[in-house]
Structure 1
Amino acid sequence: MTPEVTYTRHEGADAGSAIDAFLPAYEEIYAEPPYLEGPRDVAEFIEHYAVQAERPGMRLVLCHDGQDVVAFSYGYYLAPDTRWWTNLQDVQLPPDQAREDGRRTFVIIELAVRKAWRRRGVAATLHGLILKDVYAERVTLTVRPEPEAAPARLAYQAWGYHRLGTSHPWEDAPLYDCMVRDLQQHPLTNP
């Protein structure tokens, strides 16, 4: 049963200026295992988000319960010079599969729900809204491999994603499972 919540979608500069609205949710969610993020991690997230908010096709979807943001998701189109596919540790994609043109692949960077709101359909609704009107061949995302992230991984698989390989996005980053889903319809209106 879906709770009585509202959703808002923000694009471009509007998405960039909305960080204060969902930062408390981010801090709460990512303090949990397997993330265990502290103040330094949150500060790095704020810096990364400012850069990501400038990416082409940037969109942010927030789920509100009254004034509180209880869940959020954001993403954008991969740029032609992306390192997304070269970050894979255990698979090397053929050049034609790794090629990006700025519209071929939409990446979901975050899809997070506060604990009290999980298993209520909020994540599925966020996923549908973030991909609504996406004109791309595929969508990709990453998920942590630890057992605590198993519910998210199972949801992604139920939504049509498959594991492509292990991603190590930057030097001090943990490992992630990179997942991909082909988008057969353009635009994707009912994921």
Structure 2
Amino acid sequence: MGDRVTLTFRRFDADAARAIRETVEQIYRDSYVDAIASGDPFDSVEQFMHRFDAYTSRGSGFDLVVAYTADGEPAGQTWGWPLRPGTAWWGGLVEEPEPGFTKEDGNRTFALSEIMVRQALTGKGIAHSLHDELLSARPEQRATLLVEPDNATAYRAYEAWGWRKVGQLHPGWPDAPLFDVLIRPLTSSH
């Protein structure tokens, strides 16, 4: 692993996140260079920002954390939101792992939707720091995320950070691939 960098974190709710939309887009462009270049419509900047706009327009408790380097440059970002009753999140679940698994009340599950680090800064522990910063303030019982089954780098990290696979899900977004569903218990002082 490369040298760690000194980071500061800033938290943004949905309104504040929309106010830094250009920063969010630039971090995505600098983090997913190869995916964007692949031409896959799901990974296009336009589709990514469309999803971001949808996430931040729901009034859903959206929570964004941006990491900044000592010189004030954005290094990476992560975000998610609590799953509300009737959430569409579980709509594409291939098979329910256990009865009641998808029952949400707004306090049970936090959906970690994105975590990314600018390509020039990978290998410095930034993704793990972002992950921990976002989840440390969450009062929910558990967190969930989706990962592409062939993303070995992300998978290794998530397993090391306490996540476990519980199923597969195909989101309702256009051109979305089939993802593995991971779950992690959360601890909180609440």
1:181 CA displacement: 0.5
- SS of corresponding position for 2:175: coil
Classify 1:118/1:136 alpha carbon distance in 2 versus 1 (closer, same or farther; 3 Å).
same
Classify 1:161/1:134 alpha carbon distance in 2 versus 1 (closer, same or farther; 3 Å).
same
On the 8 A contact 1:56/1:102 being kept in 2, the answer is no
Deviation per residue, 1:25-76 (Å, 9 max, x gap): 2023223249835788211222221221134221111112334322110111
Q: Percent identity?
A: 30
1:5 CA displacement: 3.0
Q: Does 1:172 align with 2:172?
A: no
Q: Does 1:44 align with 2:47?
A: yes
| Equivalent in the alignment of 1:32 | 34
In structure 2, the gaps of 5 or more residues are none
On the 8 A contact 2:65/2:79 being kept in 1, the answer is yes
| Equivalent in the alignment of 1:23 | 25
Q: How does the TM-score come out when normalised to structure 2?
A: 0.86
Classify 1:48/1:173 alpha carbon distance in 2 versus 1 (closer, same or farther; 3 Å).
same
Classify 1:176/1:39 alpha carbon distance in 2 versus 1 (closer, same or farther; 3 Å).
closer
On the 8 A contact 1:78/1:105 being kept in 2, the answer is yes
Aligned with 1:134 (options 134, 138, 157): 138
On the 8 A contact 2:79/2:134 being kept in 1, the answer is yes
- The runs of at least 4 aligned residues of structure 1 exceeding 4 Å deviation read 37-40
Aligned residues: 184
Q: How does the TM-score come out when normalised to structure 1?
A: 0.85
Aligned with 1:152 (options 148, 151, 154): 154
Aligned with 1:108 (options 109, 112, 123): 112
